[in-house]
Chain A
Amino acid sequence: NAGVMQNPRHLVRRRGQEARLRCSPMKGHSHVYWYRQLPEEGLKFMVYLQKENIIDESGMPKERFSAEFPKEGPSILRIQQVVRGDSAAYFCASSPFEAYSNQPQHFGDGTRLSIL
Chain B
Amino acid sequence: AQSVTQLGSHVSVSEGALVLLRCNYSSSVPPYLFWYVQYPNQGLQLLLKYTTGATLVKGINGFEAEFKKSETSFHLTKPSAHMSDAAEYFCAVSRLEDYGGSQGNLIFGKGTKLSVKP
Q: Which residues of A come within 8 Å of B, CB atoms?
A: 4, 6, 31, 33, 35, 40-45, 48, 55-56, 59, 91, 93, 95, 99-110, 112
Contacts and interface: CB of A to CB of B under 8 A. Distances in A.
Contacts of A45: 105-107
Contacts of A102: 32, 49, 51-52, 103
Interface stretch (B13-21, B36-44, B66-74, B77-85): B36-44
Interface residues of B, number: 30
28 contacts: A4-B43, A31-B103, A33-B106, A35-B105, A40-B9, A42-B108, A42-B111, A43-B44, A43-B106, A45-B106, A45-B107, A48-B105, A55-B99, A56-B98, A56-B104, A91-B44, A93-B106, A101-B51, A101-B96, A101-B103, A102-B51, A104-B49, A107-B36, A108-B43, A109-B41, A109-B42, A109-B43, A110-B43
Chain A CB within 10 Å — which of B34, B44, B96, B106 has the most?
Answer: B44
B104 A44 contact: no
Contacts of B98: 56
Interface of B: 6, 9, 32, 34, 36, 41-46, 49, 51-52, 90, 94, 96, 98-99, 101-111
